[in-house]
């Protein structure tokens, strides 16, 4: 993926990995559009980064996604990078019955359905460019799940499989398909405690390594994997799945 000269849309761009990537790409002179639910946060971030754009969208609302995509196509016809980064991670107790299902529904809409819809809505624009990239953020937990986040881990496993199919279908086009699979990173994905957890990878370190990996023209299997996540990605291949699963689920 080229790191300059792009018009980039990053969902979930008001916090964590999305915001950090937006900052990095904006520093490199790209046209950066961030999307998120909170207009106040979008305004704060774009004010601090002149030239960055922000549009609010509720990714749990299909009609809102369609309206958002229409605006993006109209206002940013040169869009050539779509980073599907938005996601939620909420604990579920499946023994709770229907209340757990409500969490799963919201997780699936945010982490899966919105990604598929937004990608489909913007596909004609991406295909019209000389070169383009579609990237989705999955997780190391797509490969070895944590049992207290079943819908989240399942949603990321779904995206991993879906990206493989998308990559194969677009192999004859100029659109590159990449998967960003983070390890446990210091963000607020599961709450404020995660941002300072010493067991999590510092966000700045993660982003620095990711930017180096994105500069590689063709990452192996289209997967952008920092060293720290490979223990999860390679667990089954190395015959260490049960060991790693047990470590993640020892509570």
User: Catalytic residue positions?
Assistant: 152
The Cα-based distances of 163 to 72, 84, 173, 242 in angstroms read 22, 11, 15, 26
* Cβ atoms of 190 and 89 closer than 8 Å: yes
Strands (DSSP E) contained in 12-70 are 31-36, 53-56
- Looking at the DSSP assignment, which residues form a beta bridge with residue 180? 137, 224
What count of other Cβ atoms lies within 10 Å of the Cβ of residue 62? 13
Q: Which of 154, 126, 156, 165 is nearest to 138 (CA)?
A: 156
In degrees, to the nearest 5, what angle opens at C-alpha 159 toward C-alphas 156 and 165? 155
Q: How far is CA 23 from the centre of its chain?
A: 15
Distance CA 37, CA 218 (A): 33
Tokens 């761009």 sit at which residue? 13
Tokens 């915001």 sit at which residue? 19
Distance CA 195, CA 203 (A): 8
């Amino acid at each position: 993926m080229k790191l300059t000269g792009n018009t980039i849309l990053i969902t979930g761009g008001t916090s964590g990995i999305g915001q950090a990537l937006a900052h990095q790409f904006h520093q490199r002179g790209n046209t950066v559009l961030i999307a998120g639910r909170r207009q106040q946060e979008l305004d704060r971030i774009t004010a601090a980064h002149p030239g960055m754009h922000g549009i609010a969208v509720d990714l749990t609302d299909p009609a809102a996604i369609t309206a958002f995509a229409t605006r993006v196509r109209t206002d940013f016809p040169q869009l050539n990078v779509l980073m599907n980064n938005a996601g939620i991670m909420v604990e579920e107790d499946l023994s709770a019955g229907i209340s757990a299902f409500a969490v799963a529904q919201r997780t699936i809409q945010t982490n899966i359905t919105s990604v598929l819809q937004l990608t489909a809505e913007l596909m004609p624009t991406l295909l019209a460019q000389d070169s383009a990239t579609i990237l989705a953020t999955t997780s190391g937990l797509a490969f070895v799940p944590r049992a207290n986040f079943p819908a989240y881990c399942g949603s990321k496993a779904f995206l991993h499989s879906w990206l493989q199919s998308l990559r194969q279908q677009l192999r004859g086009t100029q659109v590159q398909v990449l998967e960003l699979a983070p390890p446990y990173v210091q963000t607020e994905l599961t709450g404020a405690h995660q941002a300072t957890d010493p067991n999590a990878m510092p966000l700045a370190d993660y982003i620095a390594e990711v930017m180096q990996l994105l500069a590689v023209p063709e990452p192996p299997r289209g997967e952008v994997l920092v060293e720290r996540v490979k223990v999860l990605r390679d667990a089954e291949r190395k015959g260490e799945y049960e060991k790693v699963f047990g470590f993640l689920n020892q509570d």
